[in-house]
Amino acid sequence: MLNSIKKVNLYVGLVLATYIYLFCVDVFCVIVPWLNWSVPGILNLVILTFSSATSLYCYLFCVFLDAGKVTEGWKPDEEASSAVQEVKRKDGAPRYCQKCKQYKPPRSHHCRVCQRCVLRMDHHCPYTNNCVGHANYRTFLVFLFYVCASLVHTIGLIAAHTLHTLQTSQEQRVIRTGPQSRPVHLENGFRNIILWAVLETSAFALALPAAIGLIMLLGWHIHLALTNKTTIEYQEGVRSRVQGVPYSEHPYDLGPYHNLHQILGENVCAWCLPPCSSSHGGDKFITVWDMAKHGLTKD
Ligand SMILES: [Zn+2]
Ligand SMILES: [Zn+2]
C-alpha cells in the first residue's frame, strides 16, 4: 500500500489533474450546456467517457503494476533449444548486472531510476513514475491509443463549440443592429461567457500539444511493435550470437504479423481491449533462428 502511494509523484499528480480538468471542461462547459441531452450529446458523452475511462485505467495500470521483475537466480541456459543469446559487447560473455548481482535475461536492462533490472525494458517513463517493460508494454500501447482518441475528441468538441458560439454571437449582433432591431437576451451572463472562454481556451491549450506529442509517440511505438524492437534496442542494437557466430540482424523481428501477435496477444479482437492482468514470462523470446529451425519464414 505504502509502495503504491509512493508511486504518485508530481508528474503522476499533474497527469491525473489534467485528466479530470479536461473531462470536466468537456462535459460541463461543452456537451451538457451546448448539446444537452440530445442524441449527439449523449453519443459524445458516452464515447468520451469510454475513451477517457479506458485510457485512465490503462494509465493507472502502467503506474502501479510491476513492469517486469527478473526471477531471482535466473541464469542463461547454454543448452537451451534457442541458440541465440545476447552477449556483452566487449568479450561476448553472457550479460551480467553488477548492481543486481545476477545474469540479465534477453532484452532486460537495468533501470537506474527503479534500481533493478526490468524484463524487456523499453524505457523509464517519468509520467508514470515506472518502467515500461514486458509486463505492461501492451497496456502502454492501449493507453496511448485511447488517450490519443480522447484528446482528439476533446479538441474537436472545443473547436466545434467555439465556432458555434462565434457564429451565434455574430447572428445576435446582426439582429440587434439590423433594421428591425429587437432586444436579445444572452442565454448566460457576460461573466459566465468570459469564464467559459477561459476554461475552454486553457483546456484547448493543454489538449493540443499533448495530442500532438502522444500521437507522435503512438506512431513511434507502432513502428517499434511492427519490428518487435524496444526503444533501447532501437538505440543500441542487440548484440547476439547464433551458436557462437555473431548475428547482425535484430533476432526478435519475426515479421509484422508475428511481431504484433507476440506483443498484443493471439486474439486479434482483444488487441484494443484494456488488460485484466500483466503479461507473464518475459525471460525468453522466440527468435528468427527458432523460426528457421521449424522451417518458418518471416511474414
Ligand atoms: Zn540490474
Ligand atoms: Zn524504471
125 belongs to the catalytic site: yes
Q: 9 pLDDT exceeds 60?
A: yes
One of 125, 131, 269, 276 is an active-site residue; which one? 125
Ligand nearest the Cα atom of residue 96: 1
**CA 122, CA 137: separation in Å to the nearest integer?**
8
| 205 burial level (CB within 10 Å; 0-12, 13-18, 19+) | exposed
DSSP state of 77: -
Question: What's residue 32's pLDDT?
Answer: 92
Helices 190-227 + 137-177 axis angle, to 10: 150
Residue 53: phi and psi, rounded to 5, are -65, -40
CA 113 to centroid of ligand 2, rounded, Å: 5
Q: Which of 5, 233, 250 is nearest to 109 (CA)?
A: 233
Q: 121 pLDDT exceeds 80?
A: yes
Question: What's residue 190's pLDDT?
Answer: 64
**CA 274, CA 50: separation in Å to the nearest integer?**
11
Question: What's residue 178's pLDDT?
Answer: 59
Burial 100-117 (b: 16+ CB within 10 A, else e): eebbbbbbbbbbeebebb
Backbone torsion region of residue 212, taken as left when φ is above 0, otherwise alpha when ψ lies between -120 and 50, otherwise beta:
alpha
CA 274 to centroid of ligand 2, rounded, Å: 22
In this predicted model, what pLDDT tens digit does every residue of 62-119 receive, in sequence order?
Answer: 999 999 999 988 888 766 654 556 766 666 678 899 999 999 999 999 999 999 999 9
In this predicted model, what pLDDT tens digit does every residue of 172-198 receive, in sequence order?
Answer: 666 666 555 555 455 556 667 788 889
> Across the chain, which distance is largest between two alpha carbons, in Å?
93
| CB 79, CB 54: distance < 8 Å | no
DSSP state of 268: G
Question: What's residue 244's pLDDT?
Answer: 52
Distances 286 to 14, 62, 223, 242, 246 between C-alpha atoms, Å: 39, 25, 19, 13, 18
Ligand nearest the Cα atom of residue 101: 1
In this predicted model, what pLDDT tens digit does every residue of 159-172 receive, in sequence order?
Answer: 999 999 888 877 76
Long-range contacts from 192-198, C-beta under 8 angstroms, 24+ separation: 196/29
Question: What's residue 225's pLDDT?
Answer: 96
Question: What's residue 88's pLDDT?
Answer: 64
Residue 74: phi and psi, rounded to 5, are -60, 140
| CB 137, CB 279: distance < 8 Å | yes
CA 6 to centroid of ligand 2, rounded, Å: 14
Q: 284 pLDDT exceeds 70?
A: yes
Within 13 A of 287's CA, how many CA atoms are on the CB side? Answer: 23
CA 100 to centroid of ligand 2, rounded, Å: 14
CA 229 to centroid of ligand 1, rounded, Å: 20
Q: Which three cell numbers stand for residue 201?
A: 481556451
Ligand nearest the Cα atom of residue 129: 2
Ligand nearest the Cα atom of residue 113: 2
| CB 135, CB 65: distance < 8 Å | yes
SS3 content of the chain, % helix, strand, coil (to 5): 55, 10, 35
- How wide is the angle at C-alpha 37 spanned by C-alphas 28 and 31, nearest 5°? 30
CA 127 to centroid of ligand 1, rounded, Å: 22
CA 130 to centroid of ligand 2, rounded, Å: 5
Question: What's residue 89's pLDDT?
Answer: 61
Question: What's residue 100's pLDDT?
Answer: 94
Confidence of residue 135 (pLDDT cuts 50, 70, 90): very high
Higher-pLDDT residue of 2, 256: 256
In this predicted model, what pLDDT tens digit does every residue of 201-254 receive, in sequence order?
Answer: 999 999 999 999 999 999 999 999 999 999 998 887 655 555 455 556 788 889
Collapsing DSSP states into helix, strand and coil, what is residue 69? strand
The average pLDDT across 132-146 equals 96
CA 104 to centroid of ligand 2, rounded, Å: 15
Question: What's residue 266's pLDDT?
Answer: 86
Ligand nearest the Cα atom of residue 109: 1
